[in-house]
Amino acid sequence: MKTLFTDLPGAGIALSLLLGSFATHAQGIPPEDSAKWYVGAQASLSHKIYIIEQGMGFGAAAATVGGHGGYQFSPRLAVQAGLSYGRGSTPADIPSGQFNYYPQAEYITSLLMVPVLMRWAFAARPRRFRVEGLAGVHLSYFNLRQRGGGVETEPRYVLNTRSVNGYLDFGLGSRLRLGSRLELAADLLLNLNYQRANNFYIPLAPGGSVALGANYRLR
């Protein structure tokens, strides 16, 4: 699972190319419906920086599923908001390096995200397959578990921390219309934590996420 999270940009590009290939071969799809409101669901993988008390930052991977609703203000502009829930993978206790008694690890035991995202289509006219610029914000409510101990002379410990972080989101998205109301969507986002981690050498705390989902336009 670690390998999967370390190749988020490649996964996002692959999803967009896959949707593009579907669009090339799709035939006889009805014209886009004039409905403005839409609802959808998506699954995502992310690796972001989470900051807890005293400004300590940790990089952690998580997988989430959720739903969203949006409004198409114009053929090019849409805004959506949603709710997602998930958790991170639990690292294996494999001794390595100087931490040969109980290896240090940080991972997300639960994660609730509330994103708001603006989508701007690069093409002026609606098309079956469209590429979009994405910008937005989201809040992450999370439980972080830390465990470690170092060498054998030190006691083991497990710490559980709850916190809320805010992020700025930028990236690219693509949507493929399958019918007058149904479409597939793939998003690749850069996630920047509002706060600065005091244990990082750079002022920003960057992360990334990739998502695949579907939307349905309402009457």
DSSP string across 44-77? EEEEEEEE-GGG-EEEEEEEEEEEEEEEE-SSSE
Query: How many domains does the structure of the chain reveal?
Result: 1
H-helix or E-strand containing 154?
none
Question: pLDDT at position 169, please?
Answer: 97
Confidence tier at 196 by pLDDT (50, 70, 90): confident
At 65-105, the pLDDT tens digits run 999 999 999 989 999 999 999 998 766 554 545 544 444 67
Question: pLDDT at position 158, please?
Answer: 76
Strand partners, 142: 111, 163
Which has the closest alpha carbon to 16: 125, 139, 122? Answer: 122
Q: Is the Cβ–Cβ distance between 101 and 151 less than 8 Å?
A: yes
Query: Does residue 197 register a pLDDT over 90?
Result: no
Question: pLDDT at position 89, please?
Answer: 76
More confident residue, 105 or 171: 171
At 18-72, the pLDDT tens digits run 555 544 444 444 455 566 999 999 999 999 989 887 788 888 899 999 999 999 9
Query: Does residue 185 register a pLDDT over 90?
Result: yes
Tokens representing 138?
């989201």
The answer for 97, left when phi > 0, alpha when psi is -120 to 50, beta otherwise, is left
Query: Does residue 184 register a pLDDT over 80?
Result: yes
How far apart CA 26 and CA 6 sit, in angstroms, is 32
More confident residue, 67 or 6: 67
Which has the closest alpha carbon to 112: 69, 165, 59? Answer: 165
Question: pLDDT at position 127, please?
Answer: 83
Instruction: Look up the pTM and report it.
Output: 0.76
How far apart CA 180 and CA 158 sit, in angstroms, is 52
Tokens representing 111?
């994660």
More confident residue, 143 or 103: 143
Average per-residue pLDDT for the chain: 81
Question: pLDDT at position 25, please?
Answer: 46
**What mean pLDDT comes out for the span 201-209?**
84
Pairing of strands 206-217, 37-51: antiparallel
Q: For the domain that residue 136 is a member of, what is the CATH number?
A: 2.40.160.20
- Give the range of the structural domain holding residue 31, as residue numbers without chain letter: 2-217
